[in-house]
Amino acid sequence: MIARMWHGITAAAKGDAYADFLRARAIPDYRGTPGNLSVHILRRDEGGTTHFITLTFWESLDAIRAFAGEQVERAKYYPEDKNFLLEFEPSVQHWEVVGSAKP
């Protein structure tokens, strides 16, 4: 299993709207890709900005490729992101999951 992690920053005033956008647009996109195991969106308000981490879990790099394209390290952005994000980080991180537990 592979974890894919993306980071984005919005102005705090747009944090709620961006969270709504992610739930409505990004989560269905991730979940609609075969091989996606789960999606978790994390939020942290910090002064005048709001940070988001999108943490997704995948069966394989091939599944990530189906979502992100051949350059799996490149961040995938939606056209609407330009209305929210303060910057566009060019890449994501991938981590091999070597252990996990469920309650």
At 102, the pLDDT band (50, 70, 90 cuts) reads confident
Predicted TM-score (pTM) of this structure: 0.92
| Residue 47: per-residue pLDDT | 92
Taking only the tens place, the pLDDT of each residue in 24-63 is 999 999 999 999 999 999 999 999 999 999 999 999 999 9
Tell me which residue of 77, 74, 78, 76 sits closest to 91, measured CA to CA: 74
Centre a 10 Å sphere on the Cβ of residue 14 and count the other Cβ atoms it contains.
16
101: left (phi over 0), alpha (psi -120 to 50) or beta: beta
Q: Which sequence spans correspond to the domains of the chain? A: 2-94
> Helices (DSSP H) in the chain: which residue ranges?
15-21, 27-31, 61-68
At 103, the pLDDT band (50, 70, 90 cuts) reads confident
For the domain made up of 2-94, the CATH class stated in words is alpha beta
Taking only the tens place, the pLDDT of each residue in 54-89 is 999 999 999 999 999 999 999 999 999 999 999 999
